[in-house]
Chain A
Amino acid sequence: IPVTALSENNAMSYLSQFGYLPPTNPTSGGFITQETMTKAISEFQSFAGLNVTGDLDNETSTLMSLPRCGVKDKVGASSDGRSKR
């Protein structure tokens, strides 16, 4: 299903950037299933030590808004990892 809410868009972008979702495909508009989104959120919550709800709750959104390192948390699940130039 389309992820339309702004916060979910941001979350999708975040989860994609840090290795929990496949990189967003600009030609397909970034559509993913809710199941995939829930699973990605759950994985992020688990890694970050939050309650694993699968929902984009306040705690999860807050953590996603914190300054952080740009290196992926998960390497290999959604990409080949960081390559140099």
Chain B
Amino acid sequence: YALQGSRWRVKKLTYKISKYPRILEKSAVDKDVSRAFSVWSEYTDLTFTQKRSGQVHIEIRFERGEHGDGDPFDGPGGTLAHAYFPVYGGDAHFDDSEHWSINSYRGTNLFQVAAHEFGHSLGLSHSDVKSALMAPFYRGYEPNFILDSDDIQGIQALYGQQTLSSSGSESTDTKVNSKTTVPPPGEEDTQLCSDSKIDTMFDSAEGHSYAFKGDHYWKLTTDGIASGYPRLISNSWHGLPGNIDAAFTYKNGKTYFFKGSKYWRYIGKKIDGDYPKDISEGFTGIPDNIDAATVWTGNGKIYFYKGTKFWRFDPAQRPPVKSTYPKLISNWEGIPNNIDAALTYHGYTYFFKGDMYYRFNDRTFSVDVADPAFPRSTAYWWFGC
């Protein structure tokens, strides 16, 4: 990656689309531009807020030919867009002669070009890494776009992941801090602290714990929520919808997500093939619309929970679910029916329901007796509220 030499000194940036393209609906452009900014906010604690009027940090315009900055556009093909580095204002201009498209192999993908241009708006120059977003050449529509590690290193060299102390000035051409800083403990999360009922909770292969709720997700730390969260699920796990029913990471390092009658498989945050698939196809014997799922580290078997019942799934057996299943959750002393989420963590299985959670001891096959007693407040013990 290459840094131009200037960066923003504030982390809360605003933008305005002053002139929309002719061929796309405004609401669709708003959405794609927002998604393009999220590419960068995903790896920093920068935030981008759209304004409709007034002064903003980054102004976005779709223009044709000469448009007042002495750098005229050249019609279809050739130059697609250009943007200004922070020290020059950060504005981004797009050639309105291009056939801009959204989620389509036809035309020029607005999201990818916008994400690239916003890289310039934030201080990144062109990279000589071919796979990087900041490489100068348009490489065609990529439905499963993922930011390259080169881009991540570049943006974090500029902004780290920590709140920068603001001097009040908005841009500077002073030397950048090239160190990537450790995120500070997250502040109390208003959304989770006011309503800590979650959709699912799981550990990634890298050892991070994530909580999903609606369209958002949070990364958990030992102190609560990591800074910079919540984030949009769809911005990190491309192709994955919100309101996920259940998730787990298997011993092969792959993470499985379940919703309704479908499931998705990811390696890290990259989709691992053609998904979604039917649960009945990949997990024969497991019902649709499950409540939660866990992998018991003791035997590597997968447990699915729905309503008053649970199923044990053993990928190594045929059939993978024995005829003796489902069984009643009430067999497990102290665990309620209709749970929201479950997670295997540090040798225990945790069950979440409403605002409370239960710690299940696999050796005694019952909820732990402890002080304070279970169920405990999820908000307090898991989310740092």
Q: Which of A1-9, A24-32, A33-41, A64-72 forms part of the interface with chain B? A: A64-72
Chain B residues positioned under 8 Å from A72 (CB to CB):
126
Which among A47, A63, A71, A84 is the interface contact of B69 at CB below 8 angstroms?
A: A84
Task: For residue B1, give the distance in angstroms from its CB to the closest CB of chain A.
Answer: 13
Whether a CB of chain A sits under 8 angstroms from the CB of B68 is yes
Q: How many residues of A contact B (CB 8 A)?
A: 21
Whether a CB of chain A sits under 8 angstroms from the CB of B79 is yes
Query: Could you tell me which residues of chain A, from 28 to 85, have a CB within 8 Å of some CB in chain B?
Result: 46-49, 63, 66-73, 75, 81-85
Chain B residues positioned under 8 Å from A71 (CB to CB):
82-83, 120, 125-126, 136
Query: Could you tell me which residues of chain B, from 134 to 193, have a CB within 8 Å of some CB in chain A?
Result: 136-138
Which among A46, A63, A68, A82 is the interface contact of B85 at CB below 8 angstroms?
A: A82
Interface pair B125/A68, CB less than 8 Å apart = no
Chain B residues positioned under 8 Å from A18 (CB to CB):
136
Interface pair B138/A67, CB less than 8 Å apart = yes
Interface pair A63/B126, CB less than 8 Å apart = no
Whether a CB of chain A sits under 8 angstroms from the CB of B371 is no
Alpha-carbon gap, A4 to B68, bound state (A):
31
Chain A residues positioned under 8 Å from B79 (CB to CB):
17, 67-70
Interface pair A67/B89, CB less than 8 Å apart = no
Query: Could you tell me which residues of chain B, from 92 to 142, have a CB within 8 Å of some CB in chain A?
Result: 98, 108, 113, 116-117, 120, 125-126, 128, 130, 136-138
Interface pair B84/A84, CB less than 8 Å apart = yes
- A68-B137, A75-B125 given as contacts; is B68 within 8 A of A85 (CB)? yes
Chain B residues positioned under 8 Å from A47 (CB to CB):
126, 128
Alpha-carbon gap, A17 to B74, bound state (A):
12
Chain A residues positioned under 8 Å from B82 (CB to CB):
69-71, 82
Chain A residues positioned under 8 Å from B4 (CB to CB):
75, 81
When each residue 246-287 of chain B gets 1 if its CB lies under 8 Å from chain A and 0 otherwise, what string results? 000000000000000000000000000000000000000000
Interface pair B84/A69, CB less than 8 Å apart = no
Whether a CB of chain A sits under 8 angstroms from the CB of B88 is yes
- A18-B136, A84-B91 given as contacts; is B85 within 8 A of A70 (CB)? no
B-side residues, CB < 8 A to A, are: 4, 68-71, 73, 77-85, 88-89, 91, 98, 108, 113, 116-117, 120, 125-126, 128, 130, 136-138
| 4 A-B pairs with least C-beta separation | A70-B82, A70-B79, A84-B88, A67-B138
